[in-house]
Chains A and B, each alone.
Chain A
Amino acid sequence: MEVFRPGDAHETEQVVAWAAAERKPLEILGGGSKRALGRPSRTEHTLDLSALCGIVDYDSSELVLTARAATTMTEIEDQLVAHHQMLAFEPPDWREVLGTSGAQTLGGILACNLSGPRRVRAGAARDHFLGFAAVNGWGDGWKAGGKVVKNVTGYDMCKLQAGAFGTLSVMTEVTVRVLPRPETACTLILQSLSDEDAVAAMAAALNSPHEVSAAAHLPVVLVARSGIAELAGAATTALRLEGPRPSVDFRADVLGRLLGEALRLGPADTERFWTGVGAVQPFVDQHSAGKSDRALWRVCPPPSAAPALVRRVQAGLGSAEAFYDWGGALVWLSVEAGTDCGAPLIRAAVAQSGGHATLIRAPERVRMTVPVFEPLSGALDALTRRVKASFDPLGILNPGRMQEGV
């Protein structure tokens, strides 16, 4: 059991080349904050990238930032805030809900393609990922993309790296697009809507020209855990507006009248509320250390199918609880862990609605046996395996993290 901690890209290549020659799979770690995510690793050795850190280049007026892959999100955020900029996909912090510690790193966020509430407007992590340098499963260093915001030279490998959970290549340096931070923000609250009405209201808001930048719905039982005391007691549908102050005020008034606004949160509460939604705050307590009797699913259905999907799951699993983000395109489901975390029922419901489900938090024994990611079949499964083999034919990089044999 070795933990390799290379100091640069070249040393990273050496480690992987050795591991490939010896056919020794590696677990790849940035800061370790998402170690509990995915199928449990059973590798003998670990490749710890934490020494590959530091911002390489940040030119705010070019809207581009390049950093070594394991640069911590704290360092990135500090720099961005100082220049009134942000990662528009609003990377969420899942450490509490996963029960992990360790630093979040930019490379880790991109490898998992993690996006927060603004995803519904600004796109996912993958949409802001411009280029990288990496090491493939042969131990060869290679790069793709660029350091400018617009580029179509060669295949868009960034998309493939984002969400590959480190199974295709080890990223050593990444370049992302950054955007100006909005001047101000507020959140409109609609109250006491059923799930169906809430999803319809969110669709109306997102389909309006008022540039809603986040839309979530918490049923009444979860509102108390939103961290905003004044929301307690009624189901809450929240719509965020961001931009220059005169614009936000105007749009909030128009949209509020249109949809029947009950309350409005100012900038500070808006920040707190949406950070909480991104961090899956309403389910943190249930999943904190020692209470491993519940499991957490992240389901991405077509938005309009979300309420029926939740109803189906709740009909089969009495204690299931759910809330909606991304206007219904993201559903967080908390269920009793039991033997299989309700997987058969949830997968069947997803098959009916369309979309996919990922088991985010579950006891290790369950993640060994229940597929964590949506199972693939037929031609797509075969293609996925060929793609994996084209980067890592020996299965050295995070093998089995997403699918058995991938």
Chain B
Amino acid sequence: MLQMPMPDRAVLARRAEIVAALRRIVPGEGVIDTELERRVYESDGLTAYRTLPMVVVLPENTEQIVHILRYCSANGVKVVPRGAGTSLSGGALPLADGVLLGLGKFMRILEIDVPNRCVVVQPGVTNLGITHAVQDQGFYYAPDPSSQIACTIGGNVAENSGGVHCLKYGLTTNNVIGIEMVTMDGEIVRLGGKHLDSAGYDLLGVMVGSEGLLGIVTEVTVRILPKPPGARALLLGFPTIEGAGNAVAAIIGAGIIPGGMEMMDRLAVEAAEAFAHAGYPMDAEALLIVELDGCEAEVDHLVQAVEAIAAEHGATTCRTSRNEEERLLFWAGRKSAFPAVGRLSPDYYCMDGTIPRKRLGEVLARMKQMEGRYGLRVANVFHAGDGNLHPLILYDANNPGELERAEEFGNDILRLCVEVGGVLTGEHGVGVEKRDLMGTMFNEADLDQQQRLKCAFDPDSLLNPGKVFPQLCKCAELGRVHVHAGQVRFPDLPRF
């Protein structure tokens, strides 16, 4: 298991004083002090990691957040932001010497602005809550993580979350146009708004996906889209993973960007079918779900094209949804794949690497070999259109050593993703989980530059430290300029 930084004894010794100071800022039940109540917050969706936070605070407005952060800055107290706590990478894992800042009370939809095609919400509003607020008017919020009932838009912003529709409609970053945030020193900054593009540096763009390390998001403006008039889904079964992979490449090669395109391997299909009874073909090595959306003329046209491609690539099953009910049924299995796999085994560990799609066959074959080596099974769920792989490693935490083996297996899978030209995480974030693997993708210069950016926002490293970067940041050292006149040779290049 990966190590978190040692708690600061001096801060722990001042716990009572810190709690009292927070109570002066957030009166009543907004400061949670008892151990029993703090337990609720001890982990997020990466449940293998648990830490009891020093204290939990649930502010109700931006003003309170400003004062909390000012106090914590002035007193050298660390802060960990938290939305709904569904992060799968440990982004919201508390610190024993830190304040856990919960945004759960920021639940208001502030404005629905149809002419400007946007909605302004507080960060604790759930992802699905936004769609619910606008669906009567024919709109929706496009990024749809499977956790959308629970996860908050603030958490989505921090993780740059995706969903099964992001190949066509983009990730969080492509659908957020403005935020209000508070920096660690308690300054309110507004980035973007109802307009497009940035007046200066695109700080909004870098806030999205910053995993709670750069600022607390206190308001979010998202773009909403008109709901497509119709959609149909195809269930395509293939006798080999390669066949399915080639069909995916051929669909994209034909100029088709489906609304969603998901692949599952045999084990995932079996689990999903047993759970959801979606009618998945049980004889297939790989199942593709391809959803085509748009007007009827377009959907019909594309369905024909995809059916033809599937046949050419040896699909043994090809079913097209005939109505909305059937379309949702096709998806029901995929959408419940995680809990379904959860029934195969006491525990599972969800990975999230991205690979160039053409390497899929090779990556899955090598994963099979690793299964043998680690003595653990893997079910694969795959955002096929964009190469984002979710291997689910099955294990039993009650067997001594098995969790550690699952983690090591997971790390090997991620190293493999990087080796074939991919990346460590497609949508779940680095958090604590992949922190120590950052060096497989980035060298010291790359990481130093990322850390320097952190210093520009949070020079004392008080906001969510111990996440994302294998080493804590030393801002003074990183910012230093070592070279001076005469010390670097004049570049020996042809000059003009």
Contact = CB atoms under 8 A, between A and B. Distances in A.
Interface of A: 2-7, 11, 14-15, 17-18, 20-23, 48, 59-64, 84, 113, 115, 119-120, 123-124, 126-127, 136, 138-144, 146-160, 162-164, 168-169, 179-183, 200, 203, 206-211, 243-244, 246-247, 249-251, 254, 300-304, 326, 329-330, 354-356, 358, 373-374, 376, 378-380, 382-384, 386-391, 393-394, 402-403, 406
A157 B226 contact: no
B483 A17 contact: yes
A138 B200 contact: no
Contacts of A126: 202, 205
Given A180-B256, A250-B298, A150 B170 contact: no
Contact of B195 (A62, A169, A203, A301): A301
Given A160-B206, A300-B197, A326-B196, A150 B166 contact: yes
Nearest to A147: B421
B356 A148 contact: yes
Nearest to A327: B117
Chain A interface main SS type: mixed
A1 B72 CA distance: 50
B294 A211 contact: yes
Interface string B444-488: 011011101111110000000000100000000001010111111
B193 A354 contact: yes
B195 A127 contact: no
A147 to B, nearest CB: 6
Interface of B: 113-117, 138-139, 159-160, 162, 166-167, 170-171, 173-174, 183, 187-191, 193-206, 208-210, 214, 226-229, 249, 252-253, 255-257, 294-298, 300-302, 354-358, 383, 386-388, 421-430, 434, 438, 441-442, 445-446, 448-450, 452-457, 468, 479, 481, 483-496
Question: Which of B115, B190, B298 gathers the greatest number of chain A CB atoms within 10 Å?
Answer: B115
B115 to A, nearest CB: 4
Given A160-B206, A203-B117, A209-B229, A152 B428 contact: yes
Contacts, number: 317
A390 B495 contact: no
Chain B interface main SS type: loop
A21 B484 contact: yes
A150 B301 CA distance: 28
B202 A154 contact: no
Contacts of A206: 117
10 contacts: A23-B485, A136-B449, A142-B446, A144-B442, A146-B441, A148-B387, A243-B294, A251-B295, A326-B196, A383-B203
A92 B486 CA distance: 43
A153 B423 contact: yes
B457 to A, nearest CB: 7
B189 A149 contact: no
A124 B198 CA distance: 11
B196 A330 contact: yes
Contacts of A330: 196
Contact of A151 (B114, B203, B423, B490): B423
A63 B441 contact: no
Contacts of B194: 302-303, 354-355
A382 B167 CA distance: 36
A150 B110 CA distance: 31
B22 to A, nearest CB: 23
Contacts of A149: 167, 354, 386-387
A98 B139 CA distance: 39
Which 10 pairs between the two chains have the least Cβ-Cβ distance? A159-B205, A247-B298, A180-B255, A356-B199, A355-B195, A374-B199, A302-B194, A379-B187, A21-B488, A250-B297
Nearest to A210: B295
Given A21-B485, A156-B206, A304-B113, 8 more contacts: A11-B493, A148-B421, A153-B441, A154-B468, A180-B256, A180-B257, A182-B255, A387-B453
A380 B383 CA distance: 37
Contacts of A156: 160, 173, 205-206, 208-210
A86 to B, nearest CB: 10
A330 B195 CA distance: 9
Nearest to B494: A5
A20 B483 contact: yes
